[in-house]
Structure 1
Amino acid sequence: MNTIQRKIWLLTTVVLLIMAVIWVTLTYYNQKTQNQYNEILQRYLELNEVTVSSQQLVMDLNNYLILPSSTNLEQLINSKENIRSIKQKVYALRHEENDFSLTNYMNLIDSLIETTERALLFHSENETEASAKEFSEANRISTYISEMSLTLLDKEIKTYDRFYRGFIEQSVEIKKLGIWVMLLITLILLLVTYWFSLSITRPVSKLTQAANELSNGRFDLQIEVSSNDEISFLAKTFDRMRMNIINLISEIQEKADLERELQQNKLMLKESQLRTLQNQINPHFLFNTLNTLSKKAYLEGSEEMSDLLVSVADLLRYNLKRIDRSVTISDEVTVIKKYMDIQKARFTDRLQFYMEVDHSCLDYLIPSLTIQPIVENAVIHAIEPKEEGGSIWFRIIDAEELVLIEIEDDGNGISEQNIWHMLEETPHERENENAGIGFINVVKRIRIYYGIQDVIDIKSSDGQGTKITLKIPKTRGISYDDEALDSR
């Protein structure tokens, strides 16, 4: 057992032993006094109970003589049995000083019971006068019993007067003894506590002083505490900790420098990945647009050609200028409108385009060229293959912490296997159609931009159309410094 723990257990044991001795002594004395007091009180109560029972018997006898019913008769019989049982208890109260009086007292009880029975007998024989005479006699005996009870109580009080006086004197002496014992115990405990606390506080004070010096940055002071308990071991350990802190500070400084360089490298790597993904431009749209313009110029030669050329020029200018920047959703919506104007000119009535936009969501930032590749993918795979054409729905919805961008078509749909490849950013058979790369590019860019994986949801099946939902957080994931990007 450790030294400090041994001291604590020793002090606790002494205190518990003293408390146990005091408790046992007080308990024994209190129990003894209580038993004597209860015995005396029980004697008084039993004598008083005789008086009450005799009066009750007379009252029940009177009730029966006035109204001889079965209920009153039963109550009268119960009263007689009750006073007989009390008589047996009173017999146990006999001692030398009350032997004669208690004998007369018990004879009175017997006389009361006999008189009651005679009154009942005369009443049953319709001898009213004799029954009334016996009732008067019973009433007189009951009065004698009450007076005799008071006499016996007076004798009991005088008999136990010495006990009361001795009890009071003994209580005073016990109080005095208790005060002296408490003072002595308090003095002993104070001395033991002072010695015990001093053996702990002295080395602790030295250790506290050393800790204060250590908190002030003085790691060169050696900690020395002389004691024969655990605090000495604690001081030695504290001194070793001081040396470890010195070494740890040096290591932390080195690791901080290394971590700073690592974070800078990670940031540069993310920027590089984002730029690489943004620079993967799908030439499919440019080829189809130029082909459409050439056919339109050849076939019609109208002013509509001018509008188409303006739209194409705006799209090319947007792509070249915004390729490495964040843009608002409003900018992307404008590009989608221009792109769909070109596609409507290409497909005429084969293409139906519907747009629903919540204007409160237009000011949030997203990576450039995020929505157009998905809309283009819908045109390529939902409109082109079908001779009768099809429809595309474009929606922007405010969903509390997210902006939902939905692109839905009524094309032939996508298989579950291809959906899995698209979400996992792995190559699949649709790359041969020049659309898979652009879609995977969008998914990668959004995930890198916001730093989360759950940014897209695809619902589709073969022959049932496709619905793609972009889940855009309203807080940006990666901070861009456009001016810094331009300067690079």
Structure 2
Amino acid sequence: MIFNALNIILPTFRQYEGLDKPIRLLIKVLRGNLVFSEQIAVPLKDEIQLVKEYLQLRLLGDPSRIRIGWDLPSVIPDTWLIPSMSIQIPVENAVKYAFDPEDENASIQIRIMEKRQSLYIDIEDNGIGLSVSGNPRQEEQGTGYGLEILRQTVDILNSRNKNKMSFIINDRSHLEPDGHGTLVSIIVPFDYTFEL
């Protein structure tokens, strides 16, 4: 119903220069989030498209505030499935919480590769990391619940699979001496089943 209402009023916004594109992006992102939230797994390329649209919408006012890097395979088969929102949620958390507003070097890198009969996904930011001065970052804000739901989903799915999926969140300061930021790593075996 909300999408129908937005589509009805969309022609009204065309008279205001610059509003048509943001409203269209908003409709796409809302629709994608609604559809994906009802699915256990989605094709990787659909998730990538949703994340790109979200980032376009989120950074609309200041597209250079955070540099976004994508390192993707040249071909992404329709058969490559991942847990729904497993890229969206970490990217959204990074955009919302990882950077000070004055940070001029803010970046998020999304790397996806195929190796050893598995799909490897890394979402890495160079922000404040999971802890600053010993105090854990407030993961329970916003999509912090999304991360917990994602963890629970992976645990349930892993209980039904011989080859397990990995879902690991690391503070980069624990991985490298001068590192800062967060690294979310997901490994999905190609023979993984998403049936509950």
Q: Secondary structure at the match of 1:386?
A: coil
- Is this contact kept in 1: 2:69–2:108, CA < 8 A? yes
- Is this contact kept in 2: 1:415–1:460, CA < 8 A? no
Equivalent residue number for residue 173 of structure 2: 461
The letter of the residue matching 1:436 is G
Q: 1:440 aligns with which of 148, 151, 169?
A: 148
Q: CA deviation at 1:386?
A: 3.4
Higher strand share: 2
Measured on the aligned residues, the alpha-carbon RMSD in Å equals 2.7
Q: Which runs of 5+ in 2 are unaligned?
A: 1-12
CA distance in 1, matches of 2:71, 2:158: 25
Q: 1:347 to 1:440 in 2, by over 3 A?
A: farther
| Bigger radius of gyration among the two | 1
Q: 1:431 to 1:388 in 2, by over 3 A?
A: closer
Q: CA deviation at 1:434?
A: 2.5
CA distance in 1, matches of 2:31, 2:185: 27
Q: Secondary structure at the match of 2:166?
A: coil
- Is this contact kept in 1: 2:172–2:180, CA < 8 A? yes
Equivalent residue number for residue 333 of structure 1: 48
Residue 34 of structure 2 corresponds to residue 320 of structure 1? yes
Q: 2:98 aligns with which of 349, 362, 382?
A: 382
Q: CA deviation at 1:347?
A: 3.3
Identical aligned residues as a percent: 27
Equivalent residue number for residue 23 of structure 2: 309
Cα distance per residue 1:127-158 (max 9 Å; x no partner): xxxxxxxxxxxxxxxxxxxxxxxxxxxxxxxx
CA distance in 1, matches of 2:145, 2:36: 20
- Is this contact kept in 1: 2:129–2:180, CA < 8 A? yes
- Counting only pairs closer than 5 Å after superposition, residues 144-163 of structure 1 correspond to structure 2 as none
Q: Decide which moves more: 460-469 or 334-343.
A: 460-469
Higher helix share: 1
- Is this contact kept in 2: 1:447–1:455, CA < 8 A? no
Q: CA deviation at 1:469?
A: 1.1
CA distance in 1, matches of 2:194, 2:46: 19
Larger RCO, structure (CA 8 Å, separation 6 or more): 2
The letter of the residue matching 1:340 is L
Q: Secondary structure at the match of 2:98?
A: helix
CA distance in 2, matches of 1:454, 1:340: 25
Q: CA deviation at 1:459?
A: 4.5
Q: CA deviation at 1:340?
A: 0.9
Equivalent residue number for residue 8 of structure 2: none
> What is the TM-score with the length of structure 2 in the denominator?
0.73
Q: Secondary structure at the match of 1:461?
A: helix
Q: CA deviation at 1:372?
A: 0.5
Q: Which runs of 5+ in 1 are unaligned?
A: 1-296, 419-427, 481-488
- Is this contact kept in 2: 1:443–1:456, CA < 8 A? no
Residue 111 of structure 2 corresponds to residue 399 of structure 1? no
Aligned pair count?
Answer: 169
- Counting only pairs closer than 5 Å after superposition, residues 222-241 of structure 1 correspond to structure 2 as none
